[in-house]
């Protein structure tokens, strides 16, 4: 795929060439989590609990990395479309510089205060469990993986902006293979291959952390090598010096997106606390239904990535007609894909929830709530598409307002009312979730249409006066 994907002659083909690797990459990233849980879980629930608490802490850095990576993607796509290679190189270099600063800052903070954070998140040692001790071992290794994690996200954002979505996909596939190999060698004390027992290191939870660190580091090294040897960008040392217009552009997307993600995460934790208060069966059903719906949500997020890449380049090239056409195409594809998944969830919910549990009571309840969620699939597709569009046109602040109001005023309040004042229980919580998704979808679609209409109208006026000026001087 060329950097200049805005020159495409076949938009349908270009969309699929971009989106399929992103879908596979996101699914592989999800699978890595499942692999680590299954392999570490063989040694007991305390190890799992410790790793889960520590990973939630590390994921805060990932939120920040994703936010500023997205900011870099938006800026880079526009400079590629405008054919400003010098500005593109500066945007790439300064995205990397931001990653370096934040990664070093978070590494220092976590190194000094990780134990305090773990205790704050509920890790503690008892007579039966040593969760805090295990968490401290895990976080002591993972703290030094923060630069690796943040740099990877920054580089992935840069590649997406250039339309090179296959490279992150290949590296995610390599990452999962390496992670499994390192897990076997570092977690277990003995591995059997073709009925031959091989002694391994048996480092338990420390081995799991080291396996993750090593696999990520190797993939990051290959990613950097790709940039140096294959992409051959003419990036100079001076490009790493911050330029006001580029930094403001990255921050205008990154800061509101980071705040949005953190507030959304806080809302989800509070929402989960209300769900868990319903009891173990409801909590299990909620987890199973969530896992089932992620089958569509993870690929659905790929549409958000692709609209940023494509529309960003079209707008940078001032090809407004293709930008409008691209928005309609991706919106339609997203609705067809997620709408089809919604139909499957509604008609065959047991087929999906049965993958994750065999308990009849949990299957029955999770099937009911998955049917409810199926009704919001098309709305979530539109939210993915138009929130990506809003970030591309520099309206991240509006997404922050929509998301915050949707989660905290719609979902949380509706869940509280339906759980406290009705007998709906988990069904009420999932109705509230759907109301939130539909609300955010409608509002973000309305705002995106208003703002893009203004941009396209302004572009027509500029085009008209530009042609008039040329016509006048040609006389």
Q: Please compute Rg for the chain using Cα positions.
A: 24
pLDDT top residue among 45 and 221: 221
Mean pLDDT of all residues in 346-375: 89
pLDDT digits (tens, 9 = 90+) for 279-313: 888 888 888 888 788 777 777 788 888 898 888 88
For residues 78 and 318, what is the distance between their CA atoms, to the nearest angstrom?
A: 9
Q: pLDDT value at position 468?
A: 34
pLDDT top residue among 330 and 125: 330
CB 150 within 8 A of CB 106: yes
Lowest mean pLDDT, pick from 31-35, 115-119, 208-212, 368-372 = 31-35
Q: pLDDT value at position 461?
A: 57
| Residue closest to 61 by CA, chosen among 268, 267, 265 | 265
Buried b vs exposed e over 420-437: b needs ≥16 C-beta within 10 Å?
eeeeebbbbbbbbbbbbb
| Residue closest to 52 by CA, chosen among 257, 203, 269 | 269
Q: pLDDT value at position 28?
A: 84
- Dump strand ranges (E) for 119-210: 190-193, 196-199
pLDDT at 404 over 90: yes
Q: pLDDT value at position 126?
A: 66
Residue 77, token pair as written in the block: 């796509």
**Maximum alpha-carbon separation in the chain:** 92
For residues 119 and 133, what is the distance between their CA atoms, to the nearest angstrom?
A: 11
Q: pLDDT value at position 42?
A: 65
pLDDT top residue among 270 and 126: 270
Determine the number of helices (DSSP H) and then strands (DSSP E) in the chain.
16, 2
Q: 198: which strand partners?
A: 191
Q: pLDDT value at position 465?
A: 38
| Residue closest to 157 by CA, chosen among 247, 254, 230, 232 | 254
pTM of the model: 0.80
Phi, psi of 23 (to 5 degrees): -60, -45
Residue 443, token pair as written in the block: 């509002």
Q: pLDDT value at position 407?
A: 94
For residues 292 and 285, what is the distance between their CA atoms, to the nearest angstrom?
A: 10
For residues 281 and 98, what is the distance between their CA atoms, to the nearest angstrom?
A: 45
Q: pLDDT value at position 470?
A: 36
The sign of the CA dihedral 271, 274, 278, 280 is positive
- Chain-centre distance for alpha carbon 100: 20
């Amino acid at each position: 795929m060329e950097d200049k994907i805005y020159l495409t002659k076949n938009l349908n083909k270009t969309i699929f060439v971009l989106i399929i690797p992103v879908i596979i990459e996101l699914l592989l990233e999800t699978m890595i989590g499942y692999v680590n849980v299954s392999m570490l879980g063989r040694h007991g629930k305390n190890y799992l609990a410790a790793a889960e608490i520590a990973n939630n802490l590390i994921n805060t850095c990932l939120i920040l990395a994703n936010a500023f990576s997205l900011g870099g993607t938006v800026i880079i796509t526009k400079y590629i479309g405008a054919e400003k290679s010098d500005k593109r190189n500066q945007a790439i270099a300064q995205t990397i510089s931001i990653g370096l600063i934040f990664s070093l800052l978070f590494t220092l903070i976590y190194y000094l205060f990780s134990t305090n954070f773990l205790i704050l998140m509920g890790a503690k040692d008892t007579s039966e469990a040593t969760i805090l001790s295990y968490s401290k071992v895990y976080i002591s290794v993972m703290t030094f993986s923060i630069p690796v994690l943040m740099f990877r996200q920054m580089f992935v954002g840069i590649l997406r902006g250039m339309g090179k979505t296959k490279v992150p996909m290949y590296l995610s596939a390599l990452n999962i293979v390496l992670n499994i190999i390192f897990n076997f060698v570092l977690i277990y004390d003995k591995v059997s291959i073709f009925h031959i027992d091989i002694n391994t290191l048996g480092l338990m939870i420390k081995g799991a952390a080291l396996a993750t660190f090593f696999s990520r580091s190797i993939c990051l090294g290959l990613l950097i090598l790709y940039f140096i040897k294959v992409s051959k960008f003419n990036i100079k040392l001076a490009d790493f010096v911050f330029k006001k217009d580029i930094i403001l552009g990255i921050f205008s997307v990154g800061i509101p997106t980071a705040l949005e993600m953190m507030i959304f995460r806080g809302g989800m934790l509070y929402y989960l606390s209300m769900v868990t208060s319903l009891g173990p069966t409801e909590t299990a059903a909620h987890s199973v239904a969530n896992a089932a719906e992620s089958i569509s949500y993870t690929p659905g997020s790929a549409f958000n990535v692709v609209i940023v890449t494509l529309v960003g380049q079209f707008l940078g090239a001032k090809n407004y007609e293709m930008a409008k056409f691209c928005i309609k195409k991706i919106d339609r594809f997203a609705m067809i894909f997620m709408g089809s998944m919604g139909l499957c969830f509604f008609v065959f919910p047991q087929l999906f929830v049965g993958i994750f549990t065999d308990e009849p009571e949990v299957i029955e309840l999770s099937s009911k709530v998955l049917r409810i969620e199926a009704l919001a699939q098309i709305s979530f597709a539109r939210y993915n598409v138009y929130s990506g569009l809003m970030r591309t046109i520099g309206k991240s602040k509006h997404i922050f307002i929509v998301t915050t109001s949707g989660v905290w005023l719609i979902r949380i309040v509706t869940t509280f009312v339906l759980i406290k004042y009705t007998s709906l229980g988990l069904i009420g919580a999932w109705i509230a979730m759907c109301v939130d998704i539909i609300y955010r979808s409608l509002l973000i679609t309305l705002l995106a249409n208003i703002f893009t209409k203004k941009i396209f109208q302004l572009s027509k006026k500029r085009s008209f006066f530009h042609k008039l000026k040329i016509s006048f001087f040609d006389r």
